A and B are shown apart, each in its own frame.
Chain A
Amino acid sequence: NAGVTQTPKFRVLKTGQSMTLLCAQDMNHEYMYWYRQDPGMGLRLIHYSVGEGTTAKGEVPDGYNVSRLKKQNFLLGLESAAPSQTSVYFCASSFPGTENEQFFGPGTRLTVL
């Protein structure tokens, strides 16, 4: 089992460019999450999904969109990147009722110039 995978691992964007981060999990988890982590800080939830076809806003959703067309995939989109979106992005997944125990992907390091 690969667990939770993320692509790409690194990316550099120019201000205004768009991109999509892909998260895939093979653990048959219902719940999936997108976080961002800035230096010296904890994780902040961007969006999450409790099942295929459903998404919801987290703590810091502005500037991001998500889609969960398949149970195993959760996509995070940046429509018009800004330098404030320079961060490390983590995807995670969990079973229903066990959001306390989340399994994380390796992260995507995004720099917006």
Chain B
Amino acid sequence: GQSLEQPSEVTAVEGAIVQINCTYQTSGFYGLSWYQQHDGGAPTFLSYNALDGLEETGRFSSFLSRSDSYGYLLLQELQMKDSASYFCAVSGSNYQLIWGAGTKLIIKP
């Protein structure tokens, strides 16, 4: 079967750095995606890693280790607007994304 695991909740302080981890078990792995979803809103795409290493997009970075079936999303200089749920998702060989249950990021002033 296919499954993804990520923490259900993470708390951090405004201005700090936070890392959200994701481990996966899947067949036909092509890459790992990250999405952000604010309460009541729709998911929005953040990043995609197909190869090992770190991808940086502004304050957000995403990392992938294919040999460890592991990735993480790193958020720097946290702002209150970053309070949201973050989902990792795996793309395989059949046009589909398999989604994790999401990590709720709580930011305290």
Interface residues of A (CB under 8 A from B): 31, 40-45, 48, 50, 56, 58-59, 90, 92, 99-107
Scan residues 39-97 of chain B and give those whose CB is less than 8 A from a CB of chain A. Answer: 41-45, 48, 50, 87, 89, 91, 95-97
**Interface pairs A-B: 4 shortest CB-CB:** A42-B99, A104-B42, A100-B91, A100-B33
Complex contact B99–A102 (CB within 8 A) = no
Pick the contact of B42 from A58, A59, A107 — CB < 8 Å? A107
With known contacts A45-B96, A99-B95, A105-B42, A40–B33 Cβ distance under 8 A: no
Whole-angstrom distance between the Cβ of A18 and the nearest chain B Cβ: 25
Interface residues of B (CB under 8 A from A): 4, 8, 30-31, 33, 41-45, 48, 50, 87, 89, 91, 95-102
Complex contact A42–B102 (CB within 8 A) = yes
Cα A100 to Cα B47 in complex, Å, equals 9
Complex contact A48–B101 (CB within 8 A) = no
A107 contacts across to B, CB distance below 8 A: 42
A100 contacts across to B, CB distance below 8 A: 30-31, 33, 48, 50, 89, 91, 97
Cα A92 to Cα B37 in complex, Å, equals 14
Cα A104 to Cα B99 in complex, Å, equals 14
Pick the contact of B96 from A42, A58, A90, A101 — CB < 8 Å? A58
What are 11 A-B pairs at a CB distance below 8 A?
Answer: A40-B102, A42-B89, A43-B89, A45-B97, A50-B95, A56-B95, A90-B42, A99-B96, A100-B91, A104-B44, A105-B42
B41 contacts across to A, CB distance below 8 A: 106
Residue of A nearest to B30 (CB): A100
Residue of B nearest to A101 (CB): B45
Cα A45 to Cα B42 in complex, Å, equals 15
B30 contacts across to A, CB distance below 8 A: 100
